[in-house]
Structure 1
Amino acid sequence: MYAILIFLHSVTRWLVLASLVYAIFNALRGWLSGRHFTRSDDKVRHITATIAHVQLAIGFVLYFNSPFVLYFRQHYHEAVKQLPYLFFGIIHIGMMTVAVVLITIGSSVAKRCKTDEQKFKTMAIWFIIALLIIFISIPWPFSPLAQRPFLRTF
């Protein structure tokens, strides 16, 4: 089960990134061009938030089933001194949760905005902030915090 969760979490990461980048591009284009917020734009907003929520749910299941995190919780005083354990035990889950909360807030606020410009602007700002947090919080192969491959396999 753990290997399947790791794989799903790794694949879904790319869906989150792709949908966020597309939603941000779409929001910036709409905001700067002054175009109308269409049903298609609303679907992009909704699908992006949904993918982020699915990823967070997979991440929480993975977090509570990870032997890495289990070691962190059982040996907290030693593990907190080692950056990879600290990263996966606290930093990764905390920052990703914050990022998804920001996506949720941005999506919800944009949905309720009165003007099309406000909808696009709200999405762009909240989603960009969330994307920056996500980029920092992903264990890239080149990350100084913790390294993982671009795609985890079985």
Structure 2
Amino acid sequence: MKRPFTKTDNSVRHWTATIAHIQLTLGILIYVQSPIVKYFWKNFKEGIKNTDAAFFGILHIVLMLSAIVLITIGSALAKRKQNDSDKFKTMLFWFFIALLIIFIAIPWPFSPLANRPYFR
């Protein structure tokens, strides 16, 4: 089935990237205020050995930044494609990879990288 790339589809592309950038801005604001991150950077040698501190000090922000970069690239590439099918394929590929990275970067209770309970 060949579906046309409608104005709604383009809005989804645009708003996905826009909301991701807003989330990035909020995340950076929270990151610089986090006591775990402050401890990590003040005590780097001990912090890097602490799995939770290292996760939130480096790994989480690097993975989330990477995901936002992938979403931005995917959005820009899809916008420039001429063929509607290519627009959908481009968005699917780049956004899916970004989503996988986001899921890895979340401190799930079952994550081997860093875990937090659902409720504290």
Say yes or no: TM over 0.5: yes
Partner of residue 46, structure 2 = 78
Structure possessing the higher relative contact order (Cα contacts under 8 Å, 6 or more residues apart): 1
Deviation at 1:47, TM superposition (A): 1.1
Give the TM-score, by structure 1 length.
0.74
Deviation at 1:151, TM superposition (A): 7.0
The answer for unaligned runs of 5 or more in structure 2 is none
Quote the Cα distance in structure 1 between the aligned partners of 2:117 and 2:90: 33
Could you say what the CA RMSD is over the residues aligned between the two structures, in angstroms?
1.3
The number of residue pairs the alignment matches comes to 120
Quote the Cα distance in structure 1 between the aligned partners of 2:29 and 2:118: 20
Quote the Cα distance in structure 2 between the aligned partners of 1:150 and 1:83: 18
Give the TM-score, by structure 2 length.
0.95
Quote the Cα distance in structure 2 between the aligned partners of 1:149 and 1:101: 29
SS in structure 2 at match of 1:64: helix
Matched to 1:44, the amino acid is V
Quote the Cα distance in structure 2 between the aligned partners of 1:151 and 1:109: 39
Confirm whether residue 142 of structure 1 aligns to residue 110 of structure 2.
Answer: yes
**1:12-70 deviation line (CA, Å, top 9, x unaligned):** xxxxxxxxxxxxxxxxxxxxx32100000001111111111111111111111111100
Quote the Cα distance in structure 2 between the aligned partners of 1:59 and 1:132: 18
Matched to 1:115, the amino acid is N
Partner of residue 131, structure 1 = 99
**1:106-133 deviation line (CA, Å, top 9, x unaligned):** 0011011111011000000000110111
The answer for unaligned runs of 5 or more in structure 1 is 1-32
